[in-house]
A and B are shown apart, each in its own frame.
Chain A
Amino acid sequence: MSTLTRYSAIPYTGPAPTNRAPYVPKNAEPANARGEAIATTLGNAAMTQERGQDMPTFLVERARIADVLRNLAENPDLAFILPLDCFGTDYPDREERFDVVYQLYSLKNNERIRLKVRVGENDTVPTSTGVFKSFDWFEREVFDMFGVRFEGHPNMRRILCHEAFQGHALRKDYDPAQRWILTEQNVARIIPKIDPRFATEDTDFERVTLNLGPSHPATHGTLRIVVTLDGEKIIGADAEIGYLHRCFEKMSETHTYQQVIPYTDRLNYCSAIINNVGYALAVEKLLGIEAPARAQQVRLMLSEFWRIADHIVCISANLVDIGALTNYWYLMQPREEIIGLTEACSGARLLPSYVRVGGLAVDVPSNFLEQAQRLVDMLPRYIDDVEKLIWKNRIFRERVQGVAVISKEDAINFGFTGPCLRACGVPYDVRKASPYIGYETYDWDVPIAEGGDTYARFLVRFEEMRQSLRILQQAIDRGLPAGPVIVDNPYVALPPKSKVYNEMESLIYHFKLIMHGIQPPVGETYFQVEGGNGELGFYVVSDGTKNPYRVRVRPPCFPLFEAFGQMITGQTIPDAIGALGSLNIIAGELDH
């Protein structure tokens, strides 16, 4: 029997995806029911429920949105107090062409809600910065990207694009490659607002405005903070971002679903694989498929390894900032080993692009588990070394204790997630709250700490590394499940090469998939994973074609850096530098 005849039948027997079919989420029914319950609890006439979504979704009257948000946050039964995201979507064919979408999370009930406001080109939306401080920057971003104005916003100017930029980039009629050149004359001066606590304070010092960054050793590249100093004390701070705005969202709209994966790599480049996983899971949710068990476990293991690597970068860079260089040398070595393992799996060191929609690009090497075990055995040694060096050192303690404190209420109001929220004593972790890829089957704990200062953030990060090691040890003990690493669906995953070379049908599938891409059903979905810095969410809108209609990333760094100005007011510059490192702001994700 020849090779050609042997593989004549293709294994996939499921239905072919019908293009432009509507997307029906798996949890549409409970979400509808829950939405009705929320509507009755609130009794707000301005809300109309939108059915068939993956979470309770409401269409809200434009003028009433701030009230609705306040009601949702203040209602004791619902308590949607954590603002997650606020972003826009453009539908140019519609009369009111923009959607402004708000997403909130309830820590009490562990549920999410999505609110949508329809806005025409000349309309304004009342600002909700009075309800959630977090939405200050998010609304500025919507203005920057779509030109939607927010009435009553304290500082309605561009945030990501530069001052000479014309037009609004994420509108569908904006050419993705249309650049505007910024010259030095156009750079705007930033004068920070002086905090009212210190505005009337009369000291002997002159007030100085000082610019830190974007090219400053302590700001790690691309962050810029302008501070007003009264002697040594910071009495006003304003952060400027956008120095690494690489247009992730616009680029996603011009590429196919698989091609977006390398772009997601470059969001949080310290833990690239978690971004891959988050995006792939979001698209898989939209497609209604699930990757094979083997792929899921490899995703989980690499995510945990990279969470450790992310924390390593944060801790070591932070310690360098406050003057402890040795830890950097000690911590870079285990990170190098993690990189080595990733490279053995995927072929690239830092930005692996290893995950595909539907599974993984290739199977892991045969000695993957031994290598992982070696790493898990080795990592605690390095962490111990660093702990010995810093924990009981009085200099370190005095540099970090009581520095850049943020209260629990403020942190929630600013939309903190991840280690920085847990350092304020809120045990919110996406891996526990809404487990994905099998985190619920592992025995591990969410570490929290009290205080909300730099020290607490150190404590949480160190303990999180140990908890990740616990998860990894269990995963290794279980062993990898046998089976394929990518779904057996030629409309999603490329057929195996041996069949492509030998079989006509597989070759056609191969060509079709590359030419036409994955075409998910029409709809929208949101999926969240726990990134290195907090909740990393991907909101994907599909119009049935090969390119995503809209990909929105919920960057965990964005609210963290937004709160930074408030956190450092009243502190000194060296403390601000130490605090900045402990927040672990990754510019690629911040500016997306």
Chain B
Amino acid sequence: MPIEKIDNPNSIIGRKLNQLPGSGPEKGIQTLPGESERDIADFAGGSYLTTTVDTMVNWARSNSLWPFPFGTACCAIEFMSMVGSHYDVSRFGAEVVRFSPRQADLLLVEGTIVDKMGPVLKKIYDQMPEPRYVIAMGACATSGGFYRAYHVMQGIDEIIPVDIWVPGCPPTPDGLMYGILKLKEKIDRGEIRRS
């Protein structure tokens, strides 16, 4: 029996809020790590005055994420699995993999970024048009992982901002897809407004 999560009917991936793990009738893990500490107002989009146009724009953006796979290591292989035939990411409009930063709006950093690669990553991020989103995939890209070493960047947020962090080494394809959905939700809510 797999552990099922409680899905909010209003969103694909929403979780039951305001409940400590295990305190509800379900004995599964219901919250994301740390999510229980978050205010419900944050989730509702709180201080943003969301107009219909904005909603439309957000909807369009969130459903046409064109990823630039900045794949360097093991996580890139899992990304290959995700765009492969078994997991079908095109259902969310994110299958148009672009290798030119000018044509992409989602930077997927997959794998270890070492210091030698730092300027390259920064340059690619700078070339991407607004609005641009960044997902850091896997332990190395998010924090350096277990490479506390002389040549490894300790997380790409040293040089570029990150919207979604996906733990795992490497994350499973579904774990990464969850990250993409989470980003979609974030854009839908209008939380990321950088244009």
Q: Which residues on A are within 8 Å of B, measured CB to CB? A: 160-162, 165, 169, 174-184, 187, 214-217, 220-222, 242-247, 250-251, 262-263, 266, 269-270, 313, 317, 328-330, 332-333, 335-336, 339, 349-351, 587-588
Chain A: CB-nearest residue to B76: A221
Once bound together, how far apart are the Cα atoms of A176 and B148, in whole Å? Answer: 8
Q: Is B169 touching A246 in the complex (CB atoms < 8 A)?
A: no
Out of A162, A177, A214, A269, name the residue touching B73 (CB < 8 Å). A269
Q: Known contacts A242-B116, A245-B114, A246-B114: does B74 contact A269 (CB below 8 Å)?
A: yes
Shortest C-beta distance, B96 to chain A (Å), equals 13
Q: Which residue of B lies closest to A243 (CB)?
A: B117
Q: Are A339 and B81 in contact (CB under 8 A)?
A: yes
Given A332-B86, A333-B85, A351-B169, A247 contacting B149 (CB threshold 8 A): yes
Chain B residues with CB under 8 Å of A330's CB are 85
**Nearest CB of B to A165, in Å:** 8
Instruction: Determine whether the beta carbon of A222 is less than 8 Å from that of B72.
Output: yes
* Contact A245 B72, beta carbon cutoff 8 Å: no
Q: How far is the CA of A314 from the CA of B175 in the complex (A)?
A: 25
Which listed residue (B70, B80, B112) contacts A332, Cβ 8 A?
B80
B77 neighbours in A (Cβ, 8 Å):
269-270, 313, 350
Contact B148 A177 (CB under 8 A): yes
- Is B48 on the interface with A (CB-CB < 8 A)? no
Q: Determine the distance from Cα of A245 to Cα of B152 in the docked complex, in whole angstroms.
A: 8
Mark interface residues in B81-99 (1 if CB within 8 Å of A CB, else 0).
Answer: 1001110000000000001
- B-side residues, CB < 8 A to A, are 70-74, 76-78, 80-81, 84-86, 99, 111-112, 114-124, 140, 146-152, 169-170, 172
> A181 to B118, Cβ gap below 8 A?
yes
Give CA–CA (A263, B145) in the complex, Å: 11
Residues on the B chain within 8 Å of A332, using CB? 80-81, 84-86
Given contacts A162-B116, A246-B152, A329-B84, 5 further A-B contacts (CB under 8 A): A161-B150, A176-B150, A222-B73, A269-B73, A351-B74
Instruction: Give the chain A neighbours of B117 by CB distance below 8 A.
Output: 214, 222, 243-244
Closest to A250 in B: B149
Q: What would be 18 A-B contacts, judged by CB atoms less than 8 Å apart? A: A160-B151, A162-B114, A177-B148, A179-B151, A181-B115, A182-B116, A182-B118, A182-B119, A183-B119, A214-B120, A217-B99, A220-B76, A221-B72, A221-B111, A245-B116, A269-B77, A332-B86, A349-B172
Residue in A182, A251, A336 whose beta carbon sits within 8 Å of that of B115 in the complex: A182
A-B contact count (CB 8 A): 132
A162 to B71, alpha carbons, bound, how many Å? 19
Q: Considering only CB atoms, which chain B residue lies closest to A330 in the complex?
A: B85
What residues of chain B lie closer than 8 Å to A184, measured between beta carbons?
Answer: 119, 122-123
Q: Is B150 a contact of A178 with CB atoms below 8 Å?
A: yes
A262 and B145 CA atoms in complex are apart in Å by 12
Structural contact, A587 and B172, CB atoms closer than 8 A: no
Which among A178, A187, A243, A350 is the interface contact of B78 at CB below 8 angstroms? A350
- The 7 lowest CB-CB distance pairs between A and B, nearest first, are A332-B84, A217-B99, A247-B149, A269-B74, A162-B116, A184-B119, A329-B85
A588 contacts B73, C-beta separation under 8 Å? yes
A residues within 8 A CB of B70? 215
Cα–Cα distance between A98 and B96 once the two chains are bound (Å): 51
Q: Say whether, besides A221-B76, A332-B85, A587-B72, A179 and B99 are in contact (CB < 8 Å).
A: no
Contacts of A317 in B (CB 8 A): 80
Closest CB of chain A to B169's CB: distance in Å?
A: 7
Separation of A161 and B115 alpha carbons in the complex (Å): 8
Q: Could you say which of A160, A215, A220 has the most chain B C-beta atoms within 10 Å of its C-beta?
A: A215
Q: Which residues of A contact B148 (CB under 8 A)?
A: 176-177
- Find chain B residues with CB under 8 A from A588 CB: 73-74
A220 to B71, CA, bound (A): 7
Considering the chains assembled together, what is the distance between the CA atoms of A165 and B111 in angstroms?
A: 22
List of B residues within 8 angstroms of A165 by Cβ: 115, 151
On whether A336 and B74 interact (CB within 8 A), knowing A161-B151, A245-B116, the answer reads no
- Complex contact B150–A247 (CB within 8 A): yes
CB neighbours (8 Å) of A245 from chain B are 114, 116, 151
Closest Cβ of chain A to B159, distance in Å, is: 10
A247 and B84 contacting across the interface, CB-CB below 8 Å = no
Which A residues are in CB contact (< 8 Å) with B73? 221-222, 244, 246, 266, 269, 587-588
